[in-house]
Amino acid sequence: MNFSKQLINWYLQNKRDLPWRETQNPYLIWLSEIMLQQTRVAQGTPYFLSFTAAFPTVFDLAAANEEQVLKLWQGLGYYSRARNLHFTAQYIYNELNGVFPKSYAEIIKLKGIGPYTAAAIASFAHKEPVAVVDGNVFRVLARFFGIHDDIAITKTRAVFQNLANELISTKHPDLFNHAIMDFGATVCLPANPKCSICIFNENCFAFLKNEVAQLPVKNKKISVKNRYLNYLILRNNHGIVIQQRTEKDIWQQLFELPLIETSSDNEEEFFLHLSNLYPNNSIKKVTANTIKHKLSHQQLHINFYEINVSKFTSNQQTSAIQDLHNYAYPIVIWNFLKDFFTLEKI
């Protein structure tokens, strides 16, 4: 059987209608690929449309300030992606005369672009026959060919990359890459794959050997760190205190409320600590239940405390309630602020 031809034929009949597929503009392809890293298509599509409306060209993105970029990115997570996008747009504008590189070898040199994204841009925009390898591709190839190499090990990527490069259609590399990603996303699913309607089920190693649930092999366990974040709503009639996260940590450059991070979830101990910090102020815990927010390697346990203060200090940045929407926040903070102050959703 011809794996590539059969896969492309399936794709031409079943491809998803996505806004970034009707273009060969490398800028738009780049945006979509960066946005879809760690993000589902359904979630990423509205962001893509908003982003391209605000920044239709690489020149527009380069000319924007970081606050604008982060605000539009709010809710997508992994904010380093947005900062790298902005940096690279400025580099293309200032150093490359606004011309996006055309070859895989040149594209991969850009900040924030790895092998997968470089392959996607090169194949979709310029039909360079270099295969994309992401989670979908690992899964499809591991199951079909019966590859038991551990995908959590770095050197395994080369095994899959070499195989995918052998399989890719040199005539239609763009269609092949779209096809194998779509197939993994809609048929060869991580859980409950649609093996009964799979076009490869007569030849698929995993299906024939009853190893679908075991492939691909991924043995590396992710260590999750618990963090306890206590946010203070320091407010009076003029507004509340906000601050920007500047250290190299989660949510860098985004805004939040004054924060006290503790080593445990002992609320009584923390409330006593807070009473000592603000002995003459009205203090109220406003989260009935601790908010849990999971990141890739961290589990955040978040509570909010409202504290009325008579005046703000000179070194505190403040915002009127009606102006809070002008800043970019981690989505968990923005959702709280929006609900607590009954702000309009933006």
Verify whether residue 33 is a known catalytic residue: yes
- Give 133's contacts (C-beta < 8 A, 6+ positions apart): 115, 116, 119, 157, 160, 161, 164
* Tokens coding 245: 């996260």
Q: How far apart are CA 270 and CA 301, in angstroms?
A: 14
CA distances from 308 to 121, 229, 238, 267, 272 (A): 52, 20, 11, 19, 17
Q: How far apart are CA 41 and CA 89, in angstroms?
A: 23
Quick one: DSSP state of residue 314?
T
Q: Which residue spans within the chain are E strands per DSSP?
A: 225-236, 239-244, 255-256, 259-262, 282-285, 291-294, 298-308, 317-319
CA distances from 16 to 3, 47, 48, 176, 251 (A): 20, 18, 16, 14, 32
Q: How far apart are CA 107 and CA 209, in angstroms?
A: 40
User: Which among 33, 128, 256, 306 is annotated as catalytic?
Assistant: 33
Concatenated DSSP letters of 64-94: S-HHHHHHHHTTS--THHHHHHHHHHHHHHH
Q: How far apart are CA 8 and CA 181, in angstroms?
A: 11
Q: How far apart are CA 197 and CA 175, in angstroms?
A: 21
**Which residues are catalytically annotated?**
33
